[in-house]
Chain A
Amino acid sequence: MQEDIYATNRQVTLLDILDRVLNKGVVISGDIIISVADIDLVYVGLRVLLSSVETMERQGDASREKSLIP
């Protein structure tokens, strides 16, 4: 975020970023693969992310190796 003037705390912003990257933005058609390895990312919800991020924060740096998508 370049002018993150109103972000209230790091966790809200982090979740916002991850939610946007995974659930928002253009879904384009054509010879484009929207799913990754048979997982349709359109349906990866914030609930999954919330769970994963909380787990990662509990586990500290070691959590870097933890996947966001089960």
Chain B
Amino acid sequence: MPFLIHALIRLPEPLSGFREALRLAGPAAGGGTPELFVFREIGAVAVFVESVTASPLQAELLGYADVIERVAALATMLPVRYGSTAASEEALLAMLSANHDPIVEALNRVEGRVEYSVRILPPKEPSRIAGESGSDAVASTPPLLVGESVYKQYLRAKYEAFRKDRLLAGEAEALRGCLTDAIRRLDPAMRFASLDSAGFMVDLAVLVHRSAQAGLGSVFEAFRATHPDRQLLVTGPWPPYNFANLTKT
């Protein structure tokens, strides 16, 4: 019967206020109450559970995320990956003790900051890669590949796929730079992680200071205005899920 750990936090002041807010927010999914376990100036928010199932339902995962959201509204915190459990209170406190310094360092990195997900979908039509016109493909075909034989057609198709991939990668790099440069002007200490997820031309997790949040809307609107043929998807603010690693990056 373990504790399911949801978040690691820096203890806020006053601590009693944090505990009360956590309690007033109600039980976690499954009925357990989020509890705070303290070690020096850090703590872990965990819920006592009968067991952790191998096949969590969507509702359980959303409930887990909801507790993380609640904690993020109350304290500087690091979300913990679902499924991290401690067998007992002693084990939980031992974990906090053993990882104290990396946890503090990671909390310092995310202090006062929130995460946004910034993505760009790839063009639906391959010919709509920026800077390419229909005649470019013909003009750029090496003379060696010109011809009607099956062999030449095959090589031409391979070459064309390679050329489009390279163009797409180049454009993705330019778009990524355009966005991160604009966000950095709002928050020079911003950090970003390029997630390179399948299905997205650009997939960034961006960590910005709360004071920069108000300006993000303008950045994204300006991007949309200058890149009307690119679909920008932005979600957030999120707790710092992508910046919560305990090893220094």
Q: Which residues in A have some Cβ–Cβ distance to B below 8 Å?
A: 1-8, 12-13, 16-18, 20-39, 41-42, 46-47, 53, 56, 63-70
Give every chain B residue within 8 A of A3 (Cβ-Cβ): 237
In the complex, whether B178 has a CB less than 8 A from a CB of chain A is no
Sample of 9 more A-B contacts, CB < 8 Å, known A22-B81, A32-B86, A38-B54? A1-B238, A2-B73, A18-B58, A22-B82, A26-B78, A26-B245, A27-B246, A28-B95, A36-B83
Are A26 and B246 neighbours in the complex by a CB distance under 8 Å? yes
The 10 closest A-B pairs by CB, nearest first: A67-B55, A37-B54, A30-B95, A24-B241, A6-B234, A31-B91, A25-B79, A25-B81, A20-B241, A36-B83
Knowing A3-B237, A25-B79 touch, does A16 contact B86 (C-beta < 8 A)? no
In the complex, whether B61 has a CB less than 8 A from a CB of chain A is yes
Knowing A17-B65, A39-B54 touch, does A33 contact B98 (C-beta < 8 A)? no
Are B86 and A27 neighbours in the complex by a CB distance under 8 Å? no
Given B79, B85, B217, which contacts A20 in the complex, CB threshold below 8 Å? B79
Q: Which residues in B have some Cβ–Cβ distance to A below 8 Å?
A: 2, 5, 8, 52-59, 61-62, 64-65, 68-69, 73, 78-87, 91, 94-95, 98-99, 106, 116-117, 197-198, 216-217, 220, 233-238, 241-242, 244-246
Give every chain B residue within 8 A of A21 (Cβ-Cβ): 61, 64-65, 68, 79, 81-82
Are A32 and B91 neighbours in the complex by a CB distance under 8 Å? yes
Are A8 and B57 neighbours in the complex by a CB distance under 8 Å? no
Which A residue sits closest to B63, measured CB to CB? A21
**Nearest Cβ distance between residue A57 and chain B, in whole angstroms?**
10
Are A13 and B94 neighbours in the complex by a CB distance under 8 Å? no
Give every chain B residue within 8 A of A29 (Cβ-Cβ): 95, 98-99
Which B residue sits closest to A37, measured CB to CB? B54
Give every chain B residue within 8 A of A46 (Cβ-Cβ): 197
Give every chain A residue within 8 A of B116 (Cβ-Cβ): 6
Given B62, B84, B236, B246, which contacts A6 in the complex, CB threshold below 8 Å? B236
Complex CA–CA separation, A19 to B233 (angstroms):
16
Knowing A18-B61, A28-B5, A30-B95 touch, does A23 contact B56 (C-beta < 8 A)? no
Knowing A26-B80, A26-B106, A32-B95 touch, does A67 contact B57 (C-beta < 8 A)? yes
Give every chain A residue within 8 A of B68 (Cβ-Cβ): 21
Are B220 and A36 neighbours in the complex by a CB distance under 8 Å? no
**Nearest Cβ distance between residue B178 and chain A, in whole angstroms?**
17
Are A30 and B59 neighbours in the complex by a CB distance under 8 Å? no
**Nearest Cβ distance between residue A62 and chain B, in whole angstroms?**
12
Are A34 and B84 neighbours in the complex by a CB distance under 8 Å? yes
Are B241 and A31 neighbours in the complex by a CB distance under 8 Å? no
